[in-house]
Chain A
Amino acid sequence: MSARNELRHQQELIASLQPALHVPQNWNYEVDGPLYTAYVHPPHDVGGQFDVPVVYEEKEEEQWELDTYVTCEVLGWRGVWNSEERRRRADNDLGYALYVGVPYYGRWILSAARMLVDKNHVPLTELVEKIAEVKSRYGKK
């Protein structure tokens, strides 16, 4: 273990094994106050929460991100939704796992799709079939 990069790698692996509080939850009959507060906490309110160090990446927007931005703005201009507060609320309504699990514009496009279905602008079946058609056009499953 004389190589410093090997040491660092091993130390990171060891640190990753430290115990973490993770209690599976499934249809609880009793939810105490703090747990309830955690459940109803809006995912976007992250101020003051501890986090691991995040690598800063100098990254340009990808085309799908720009397309998503424009799509959401146009939906706002057309009055289909209010592009600021309701999009923000819709992002939160994705739920915590999706909110933190997908990229920033991933939230936007999922929220836009959900809103279009919610408001009966597009039937869910039509949307799903369209997604399948586009995927197959690009040879993806």
Chain B
Amino acid sequence: MARSKPPENALNTPANARFKVGDRVRVKDLPNLFYTRTQMYVRGIVGTIAACTYQDVIPEDEAFNRDGRLEQYYIVRFRQKDLWPEYQFDNDTVQTESPERWLDPVDN
């Protein structure tokens, strides 16, 4: 199962990846319908690419057995304070994984 493999060379950016480690991205706020794995709490929030992991089928396809369309996955790091304004500690972060289509570039 590809998804459970540890990221290999996760800090290297594959040639065809849209984003590289350190890029700032905003998670798209697409409508939910039937299935997704993009959490509501990261929608519209800006984070930083922490790793380029691997290419895999996106959840929205795999959930309905549409195999074959591979997409680059990234680990995106968010500041806890950006997610939860009442959060008390400035330096804490949380990371989630996302396929490329859910991410928009943010000008640095």
- Our verdict on whether A and B bind, yes or no, reads yes
User: Which A residues lie at the B interface, using CB under 8 A?
Assistant: 37, 40-42, 45, 47-48, 82, 84-86, 88-89, 92-93
Q: What are 13 of the A-B contact pairs (CB < 8 Å)? A: A40-B32, A40-B33, A40-B34, A41-B32, A45-B36, A45-B39, A47-B39, A48-B41, A82-B62, A85-B62, A85-B63, A89-B34, A93-B34
The complex places the Cα of A45 from the Cα of B40 at a distance, in Å, of 7
The complex places the Cα of A93 from the Cα of B1 at a distance, in Å, of 23
* A48 contact set on B, CB distance < 8 A: 39-41, 83-84
Q: In the complex, which of the residues B3, B31, B34, B39 contacts A84, with contact meaning CB atoms closer than 8 Å?
A: B3
Q: What is the interface size of chain B, counting residues whose CB is below 8 A from a CB of the partner?
A: 20
The complex places the Cα of A40 from the Cα of B64 at a distance, in Å, of 17
Could you tell me the distance in whole angstroms from the C-beta of A43 to the nearest C-beta in chain B? 11
User: Which B residues lie at the A interface, using CB under 8 A?
Assistant: 1, 3, 31-37, 39-41, 57, 59, 62-65, 83-84
Known: A47-B39, A84-B3. Is A42-B65 also a contact (CB below 8 A)? no
Determine if B65 and A41 form an interchain contact, defined as CB atoms under 8 angstroms apart.
no
The complex places the Cα of A41 from the Cα of B41 at a distance, in Å, of 12
The complex places the Cα of A37 from the Cα of B33 at a distance, in Å, of 9
Could you tell me the distance in whole angstroms from the C-beta of A107 to the nearest C-beta in chain B? 15
Determine if A41 and B62 form an interchain contact, defined as CB atoms under 8 angstroms apart.
no
Could you tell me the distance in whole angstroms from the C-beta of B54 to the nearest C-beta in chain A? 15
Could you tell me the distance in whole angstroms from the C-beta of A69 to the nearest C-beta in chain B? 15
* A85 contact set on B, CB distance < 8 A: 57, 59, 62-63
Could you tell me the distance in whole angstroms from the C-beta of B37 to the nearest C-beta in chain A? 8
Determine if B35 and A84 form an interchain contact, defined as CB atoms under 8 angstroms apart.
no
* B37 contact set on A, CB distance < 8 A: 45
